[in-house]
Chain A
Amino acid sequence: MKREASLPRADTPSKDAAAIVLKYAAGTLTVHGIDAGHEIAERFAGQVKWDTRSHCFRCAGHLYALIVKWLVRSGLPFDDQACNYERLALEYNSGGRSSRPYQREALADWLKEGGRGVVVLPTGAGKSLVALLAIADRQRSALVVAPTLDLVRQWYDLLKAAFGIEIGLLGGGEYEIRPITVSTYDSAHLHVERWGNRFGLVVFDEVHHLPSPSFQLAARLCIAPYRLGLTATPERTDGAESCIEELVGPIVCRRDIVEMTGEFLADYETVRLTVQLTEAEREQYESARQTYLGFTRRHGIKFNGPKGWSDFIKRAASSREGRRALDAYRVQKSIAIAASGKMATLEELLIKHNRDRCLIFTLDNRTVYDISRRFLIPAITHQTKVKERSEHLKLFAQGVYGAVVTSRVLNEGVDVPEASVAIIVSGTGSVREHVQRLGRILRPRDAKQAVLYELVTGQTAETGTSERRRDHLAYR
C-alpha cells in the first residue's frame, strides 16, 4: 500500500511497486529496500538503527506514524506491509448519555494534536466517554488498555453498549482479539509483539501506570498512530511521566476538580479531624520513634532525598541496631495509623452518616479487618473473593449496606457513584492516592453533597504525611 495521507490510513491501497517496504516484526518496524547509508538513519538518529543481521533498518513499533509521515513528506514511495488494522464502520450509540462541552473540547484538542495525547479529567467527570467519542471519530481498530480486571469488565460492557458489536478480551484467562478489544496492561505487554500492528488507535486508561518498564512495552511495540491516554492524576512521584509524552503524546486537555465541582461533579468538602494518642500509646510511640530516628541521624540518612528510604532499608538490614530501628519504625507507624482515638472518631462518623453511603479507606489490610470486625462492616481487600466482592458492592449500591471498608483496592477505577462519604482512616503520602479516594465520592448523583474526612493522629509523623498528600488544588 502506498501512503499519501499525512497519517497512515488503512484504506488507501495501491499496487504500485515501491523501493521502500515497511514491515512489522515482533514489536519492531523494519524498513527494507534501502541501504545502510540512507538519510533515514540521520533523520531518526538514535531511534532507527541498521540491523546487520536482517540488512534493513529497524526501530520500535511506536515510531511507525513518524516514519510514514516523513516518507510521505519526503515524497519517497513505499509499500506499507506493516499496517494491519482496519477502517471500521462503527455506529455510536450514546444510550441517551449526551456528551458534555468539556468532553467535546477534549476530543477536539486531542484531534488537533494529530490524535495523540493525554486527557486529564477528575474521577467521575466521564473520561471514558471521551475515549468512546475518539473511537467513533477515528473509526479504526481500537485497543483499550486498563490496569485491573474490574476496569476491563467495565470497559467491555461500555464498548459493547456503545457500538453494539462483539468486543475482544485479553486478560483474566481470555484471549480473543476483535476490531475493538479490551486488555489489561499485563496482557497487553505480554502479547503486544503478536498483534501490535492490528490496532490503529490505543486508549490507555489510567495512563499513569504506563511508565513502569514492562507496561511501557505495550505502547512502545505497537504501531497505532492514534493514541489516547486517560487519567485524573498524570504526575508520578518518580517523575517517570515524561515517557507518557513520548509514547502517547502531550497533555492536550486538563480540568481539575475545583473548576468542575457543582456543575459536573458533586459538591464536596474536606474535613481533617485530628485525634490524640492515649498516654500509653504516646509513651510507646515516642520510645519507638527515638530508636529509629537516632539510627537515621547516626547514619546520616535523609528521608527527603530520593534514595532516603532505600538507604534506610539497606543500612537497617546490615546490623542488629539497624533491624531494631526498622522494627521501631514499624511500631511507631502502626501506632499512628491505628490509634485508638481514630476508632472512636470513626464510630461517631458512622452514626452521624448512618443514612449515607460511606467508603472507609485504610493503609493496610490488617486495619481493614480490624474495622470490619469491630464495626461489622463489609471489607474488600485483595483476599476478598470475586463473588463476595461483587455482592458487597451491589448491596452497597442498593443501600442495603451503608458502609464498606477497604485498603487500596478501591482507590481507582471502580464505579461507586452512590458513595457520598469517604473516611480516610490512614493512607500514604501520595497525592494521587488521596485525589483518587476523593474522586470515588464525586460522581454526580441527585444533587449529592459529598464529604471527605481525614483522620490524622496529632503530634505524630502522620501530620506530615497528611500535609504531603493534601498538596493538590482539590484540598485548598
Chain B
Amino acid sequence: MTVSVSADLDRKFREAAGSSGDLDVAYDLLDTPIGELLVAVTDRGLCRISFDPEPEREEEALAQLYGTRVLRAARPVDRARRELDEYLTGRRREFDLATDLRIEAPFRQAVLSELGRVPYGATTTYGELARRAGRPRAARAVGTFMNRNPIPIVVPCHRVVGSTGSLVGYGGGLDRKEALLRLEGVLV
C-alpha cells in the first residue's frame, strides 16, 4: 500500500506544531520582489533572514544555534511576512518586530542595535557605526559584521556605505543593496 501525506494533512500538522510551543525555530520561504527569502523566528523573535536560501543547509545551521526542533511552519512567521511584504512594496518604513540576537557577541549586538537606529531613507558609514558602538577604530570589523548580519533588511545593513558614499558590499549582493536603497529613496 502506498500512502503519502496529503498537502492538507501536512499543513494541519505544521500548524499544530507551530502553535504547540515546542519548536525551537519556525521558518518559511517567502517570494518577494527581491527574490526568495528564508525567514526564521524563535519564541524570542526574528532570528534569520537569508537570501537565495538552501533550506537544508539553513535548517542545519539553525539547529546548531537554537536547537534541533526546526520546522517549516507558516503561522509563527506571519507577522514578519506581513511586515516584510509591506516594506518591500513601499507601504512600511519601520519594522515592529522583536529580534533574537542572543547568539551574537556583545560588540556585534551593540553594532547591530546601533544600526537599528539608522532611519529609513538615511545612510551611515562603517566608521560612524563603529564610533557609535563605542569602538571608533573598528570600522573594518563592523564591515565584516554587516556582511554576516543574520537579519538583513530588518536590521538595515543596506544603509551602511563607505566613507566616500560608495556602496561597498552586501551579503545579499550589491544589486539587492541598490534595490533597497532605491526603494527608500536614497538612490534614484
Say whether A associates with B: no
Contacts from A to B (Cβ < 8 Å): none
Contacts from B to A (Cβ < 8 Å): none
